[in-house]
Each structure stands twice: as structure tokens, then as C-alpha cells.
Structure 1
Amino acid sequence: MDQRIKKTIVNAVLIIVLSLLLFLAGTWWRMQAQFQLGEAALAKGDFTGALAGYESAIHMYVPFHPTIENAAQKLWRLGELAERQGDVTRALIVYRALRSAFYADRWLVQPGQEWIGRCDRKIASLVPLQRER
């Protein structure tokens, strides 16, 4: 193989690997930033801000990253809190957002299947309560 062709192939592979690493680093950074926004909003009692931050963190899906699971747990607790307070509408918003965030994260496999199932069950139990009001 010609030396020039080898050099071109090596350069192309390096560019591809570097691009993928930059993409992964950017996604990781945005995921952490969104999670922190959710944490700050929750600390201030800002339901909408917390919901948006945690949901956005899940959208920045990085396989096996613990922040994804932490954001899902935070959203779940937010939904349970709304339920305990008798706010069925807010609880449904949270559970639907959590479920939708994982559906939007289609990857090689569907992430968050356990969370999706849990949300489906919660939503099914809460929708009749919302109609009673």
C-alpha cells in the first residue's frame, strides 16, 4: 500500500476517534450540568425547574453512567411527593416525563425499561383518579 494512502487512513481514523471523544465529553458535561440545575431547582422548591433539569439529564444518555439512574430516582421521588400531597396532575406529569425521557433515549437497546414499566403502572393507577376530579 502506498505510504500516502496509509497516512490518509491513519489520519481519518484519528479524526473519527477524536470526534467521538469530543461528542461523548460534550454529552457528559451537558448531562452533569442539567442534573445540577435540577438539584438547584429542587433545593429552592422549584418543581418545574427540577423536573426540567432531571429530565434533560436523562436525555443526555451516556450508557451505564450513574447520573442517569440518579436523575430517574429524583424524578420518581418528585412524582411520589406530588402523590402524597394529593396533586395527581403533577404526579402524572412527572411519571410521563420520566417515561418519555427514556423512550427518547433510544440507543442500541432501549434504556430504562424498568423505569418505563414502573411509570406505566403508576400512570395507569393515577389516570382514573384524575378523571374523578
Structure 2
Amino acid sequence: MTERVRYILLNGVVIVVLCGLLFTATTWWRLHQQFALGEAALQRGDFTGAVAGYESAIHMFVPFDPTIEQAARQLWSLGEQSERQGDIARALIAYRALRSSFYAAHWLKTPGQDWIERCDEKIRALVPLLRER
């Protein structure tokens, strides 16, 4: 291999690694920004804003980041709270947002399978109640 080919290959590897790091850092930053927006909306009592923030945070899926689990728990909590208040439509919005967020974060495999299954159960139970009204 000539010196020029090695130089080109090394530069190519460095560029690919840097692009990967920049992509991961940007996604991580956006994940935390969206989660913070969800938290702020929740503090204001803005259900729609909270759901949107947490849902967007999960869309920015970064493996092993605990914020993903926190966002999922917050969406689940919003669904349960809405259920307790008798607001089935809002509960369904929260559960469906949680479920679809993990489907949207699909990479080589779909993360959050346990959340998806829990949401499927809730949705199956709540849809008939909504139709009765």
C-alpha cells in the first residue's frame, strides 16, 4: 500500500468517526432538550406539551441513556393519571404516544418492547370504554 493510499484511508476513518460522534452528541443533546421541554410543560399543567416533549425525547433514542426510561415513565404516569380522572381519551393519547415512540426509535431492533406490550394491554382495555361513551 502506498503512503498516499494510507493517508486517504486514515483521513476517511477519522472523518467517519467524527461524523458518528457529532451525530451521537447532537442526538443526545436533542434528547435532553425535549425531555426538559416535557418536564416544563408538565409543571405548567400542559398535558399536550408534556406528551409531545416526552414523545420527542424517546424519538431521539440513544442506547443506555436513562432519560429514555424517565420519559417513558412520565408518559405512562400521564396515562394512568388520566385514567384515574376518567379521561379515557387523554389516557389513550399518552399510551399511544409511548408505544409509537418506541416503534419510531427502531434501529436494528425495536427498543422498549416491555413498554410496547404494556401499552398494548392498556389500549385494548380502554378503547371499548371510549366507544361506550
Structure 1 unaligned regions, length at least 5: none
User: Cα deviations across residues 34-82 of structure 1 (Å, max 9, x unaligned)?
Assistant: 0000000000100000000000000000011101000000000000010
Task: Using the TM superposition, give the Cα deviation of residue 109 of structure 1 relative to its aligned residue in structure 2, in angstroms.
Answer: 1.4
For residues 91 and 22 of structure 2, what CA distance do their matches in structure 1 show?
37
For residues 123 and 84 of structure 2, what CA distance do their matches in structure 1 show?
15
- The 5 A counterparts of 1:1-133 are 1-133=1-133
Q: Which amino acid aligns with 1:74?
A: Q
Task: Using the TM superposition, give the Cα deviation of residue 126 of structure 1 relative to its aligned residue in structure 2, in angstroms.
Answer: 0.3
TM-score, normalised to structure 2, is 0.99
| Runs ≥4 residues deviating over 6 A | none
**Aligned residue pair count:** 133
Secondary structure (helix, strand or coil) at the match of 1:12 reads helix
TM-score, normalised to structure 1, is 0.99
For residues 38 and 118 of structure 2, what CA distance do their matches in structure 1 show?
22
For residues 16 and 129 of structure 2, what CA distance do their matches in structure 1 show?
52
Task: Using the TM superposition, give the Cα deviation of residue 16 of structure 1 relative to its aligned residue in structure 2, in angstroms.
Answer: 0.1
Task: Using the TM superposition, give the Cα deviation of residue 8 of structure 1 relative to its aligned residue in structure 2, in angstroms.
Answer: 0.3
Task: Using the TM superposition, give the Cα deviation of residue 108 of structure 1 relative to its aligned residue in structure 2, in angstroms.
Answer: 1.5
User: Cα deviations across residues 91-128 of structure 1 (Å, max 9, x unaligned)?
Assistant: 00110110000011111111000000000000000011
